[in-house]
Amino acid sequence: MKNSIVEKLQKKNAIIGIAGLGYVGLPLMLRFVEMGFAVLGFDIDAEKCRKLNAGQSYIAHIKPESIQNARTAGAFEATMDFSRANEADALILCVPTPLDEHREPDLSFVINTMRELLPHVRKGQVISLESTTWPGTTEEVLRPMLEERGFGIGEDIFLVYSPEREDPGNAKFTTRDIPKVVGGSTPACLQVGKALYENVVVQVVPVSSTRAAEMTKLLENIHRAVNIGLVNEMKVVADRMGLDIHEIIRAAATKPFGFVPYYPGPGLGGHCIPIDPFYLTWKAREYEVHTRFIELAGEINSAMPDFVVSKVMTALNDHGKPVKGSRILVLGIAYKKNVDDMRESPSVVLMEKLQALGAEISYHDPWVPVFPPMRRHHFDLKSVELTRELLQESDCILLATDHDCLDYEMIRENAKLIVDTRGRYPAGLAKVTKA
């Protein structure tokens, strides 16, 4: 069984099934198609499937031409019919793993996807989980589900964990260029997992177990969260001292060893960094370990929106304006520049907090023309045109996401007041408050 699936993967005769066609699943699909595989994509969103089958893209940095080419070649189809899972030789799960209202892991998307697939799973398939999760998920959640169906792991079914490492909008590192960590439930599973990915990425990095692969992903993102927490705390200290933290970081980054620059902001955004540390702190409690360092960084990062709001309040006060009734234009509501990704965007938290204080909120973001439906947030807003008149009429311009396409000089010339959370403007400029 193992030799058969490995041979199919090596010869590119295998059909790849991808469950979840979002920021992770869609680029992965395109890479498999590019390397000569046929891909069957599964998603519960009918509109996504319709658009993809029509050759359209719903992610701004993924060009529709790439979807059209995959469709024209007959190498890709999107479907809501999970019963077709038996057509695939590999099933890759790329579904969300958010936190619930108590900031504890929510595996409902993973579990529900597996439940949809399970009746149609057959012998000889490889199943790979790519969603970020706590160490032990693959063995403690997915493996029992497969074994209850009577499958022998490493004999009938090959189970692996390979964490996604997508960075939306990063043209320097694509799916092809980023090494792929792979852990298997058994040595045979690992061998099949390596065969699955080695045709589509430059390097496969095998590790000893699925738990090691799961922990690797958490370490990567916790490393970023902790270091961002450090510079966010340094930002507050520097602000009290009248110093520009961005100038200091740029100067420190000239050291050729022993320093890696991280940059502060209005809060953490994206699906990974604001969420992943909580997956480890939750699991660590099972081992009677209190992850104080990680949780402290989380507290600092979570406090950044309040710091920004206080800077907006002070800046408006200095201009003789209360927050209540002030017209505040938020520039950029995606979680980072040059993408349309709204997941966990700190801009939304800022908008909610300022609106609660009585401000009149509008936003401009060329990447997000209409405020999208979100599970925990709602604004009935559209991106407004960025004109000189709008800038002049606004009481405060809150630069929350510094897209490269914005005309920063025009903004500075016409704004009454700018609160800059991204260090886009140098220190000392009139009308600019650093936050």
Q: What confidence tier does 346 reach under pLDDT thresholds 50, 70, 90?
A: very high
The topology (CATH level 3) of 245-434 is: Rossmann fold (3.40.50)
Please tell me the CATH code under which domain 2-214 is placed. Answer: 3.40.50.720
How far apart, in whole angstroms, are the C-alpha atoms of residue 234 and residue 324?
A: 30
Q: Which residues are within 8 A (CB) of 194 and not within 5 positions of it... i.e. 6 or more apart?
A: 182, 204, 206
Mean pLDDT calculated for residue range 259-270: 90
Instruction: Reply yes or no on whether 272 is catalytic.
Output: yes
How far apart, in whole angstroms, are the C-alpha atoms of residue 36 and residue 43?
A: 22
* Catalytic option among 189, 272, 396, 405: 272
Token look-up 């209850």 returns: 148
* Mean pLDDT over the full length of the chain: 94
Domain residue spans of the chain: 2-214, 245-434
pLDDT of residue 251: 97
245-434 and 2-214 share a CATH fold: yes
SS3 119: helix
Query: Whole-model pTM?
Result: 0.91
Say yes or no to pLDDT of 271 above 80.
Answer: no
pLDDT tens-digit readout, 176-208: 899 999 999 999 999 999 999 999 999 999 999
pLDDT tens-digit readout, 377-420: 788 999 999 999 999 999 999 999 999 999 999 999 999 999 99
CB 37 within 8 A of CB 14: yes
Mean pLDDT calculated for residue range 105-132: 96
Phi, psi dihedral angles at 205 (to 5 degrees) = -110, 100
pLDDT tens-digit readout, 79-103: 999 999 999 999 999 999 988 877 7
Mean pLDDT calculated for residue range 62-90: 95
Say yes or no to pLDDT of 322 above 90.
Answer: yes
Q: Is the dihedral of CA 229, 235, 238, 244 positive or negative?
A: positive
CB 76 within 8 A of CB 56: no
pLDDT of residue 102: 77
